[in-house]
Amino acid sequence: MAKIPVGVLGATGMVGQNYIALLNNHPWFEVRFVAASPRSAGKKYAQAVAGRWQLAETYAPHVGEIMVEDANDVSRAAAAQKREDCAFVFSALEMGKAEILALEDAYAAAGIPVISNASANRWTADVPVLIGEINPHHADIIPAQRKARGWDRGFIAVKPNCSIQSYMTPLHALAQAGYPAQRLIVTTMQAVSGAGYPGVPSLDIIDNVVPYIGGEEEKTENEPLKIFGTIADGVIQNAALPKISAACNRVPVTDGHTACVNLEFAGKKPSIDEIKEIWTSFRALPQELDLPTAPKQPIIYREEDNRPQPRKDRDLDKAMAVVAGRLRPCNVFDIRFTALSHNTVRGAAGGGILNAELLKHKGYLA
């Protein structure tokens, strides 16, 4: 099968670099178009990231030779689409929210599907916020989105905030088994890579914990409700539950967001052993389809008292699994547990690529 040519917007930034690296040797997709800020435009990709490449794995040789385009010039991607070098784009844009909204809309209006990592469109009512194991059916809003906007081939689909990835799949698995959550208290300990590059100044984070990350608590409390929501009348209507109270902290960890969760069930309560069985046996559509980026086991449970740990567990199952542990009764709610996910893979570029694989399966990507 010929690979689908794809583009990356914001290709020189931290998330863009992760897209480039993770797409190396992908069985379905091949990077053939890259775009970034005007200061990188006109350079070969290798020149644009010289001295700025942050990953252990390098980019494919052919990507280094691609000329970087100005991401603000949608016509360059449209031209690449015509010459069959860009069927759709991954958006890792780093600019103001209003600018991203306008630019992603412009790409979609030009007939170029946008698989976005940015937060700008997460609260757009007809834009799906996808986690492949939880709400793949939300992709079915795309025809309504296209009709409402007058778009032909283009559309926008996004992935959620990285801080919610570690506990959303465990919550969904419990709800699917008949044990939905009613209330949560979530405390996140978020890695510095989540702030991009150069990110958090070293004197702020070394030997320190910063108990504030702008916008994170609001995203953590609200995005799950859209993901658990339902499609009605061409929009996604938020779920009423669970109610979430979040505290988000930046900690001196390179990669891997950890969440400590206290959970109250809405009705009947499973036993501790039953929860473990629900989590370890959970599989969903990405696993049924054996999508290339999907983890074989979406939730991995560690029995050790001191796990999960970012350094030891973040890379399990292609860095796409959620790793849970420390499940025990809660003195205030019903249960408490700790969960971990890799924020720049599962929570960013890897999650975006999995969404693209899912959308290809559903027929939305040629």
Exactly one of 162, 172, 248, 342 is catalytic; name it.
Answer: 162
Sign of CA dihedral 288, 290, 294, 296: positive
How far, in Å, are 44, 107, 340, 362 from residue 110 at the CA level? 25, 5, 38, 21
Q: How many angstroms separate the CA atoms of 14 and 93, rounded?
A: 10
From 26, 138, 172, 257, the catalytic residue: 257
R_g of the chain computed on alpha carbons: 20
CA angle 101/102/106 to nearest 5° reads 120
Cα separation, 298 vs 146, in Å, equals: 31
Tokens for 30, please give them: 């091949």
330: annotated active-site residue? no
Alpha helices, DSSP H only, in the chain?
14-22, 45-48, 61-64, 74-82, 97-109, 142-149, 165-176, 202-205, 216-227, 272-281, 285-288, 310-313, 316-319, 350-361
Distance CA 258, CA 187 (A): 8
**Angle 38-43-47 (CA atoms, 0-180°, nearest 5)?**
115
- List the beta bridge partners of residue 266: none
Laid out side by side, the sheet with 299-302 consists of 243-250, 181-190, 257-265, 335-341, 322-329, 299-302
For residue 162, indicate whether it is catalytic.
Answer: yes
Dihedral pair phi/psi, residue 70, rounded to 5°: -80, 120
Q: How many CB atoms lie within 10 A of CB 107?
A: 26
What is the torsional sign of CA 350, 352, 356, 359?
positive
Q: Which of 354, 355, 256 is nearest to 296 (CA)?
A: 354
CA 300 to chain centre: 19
Catalytic residues: 162, 257
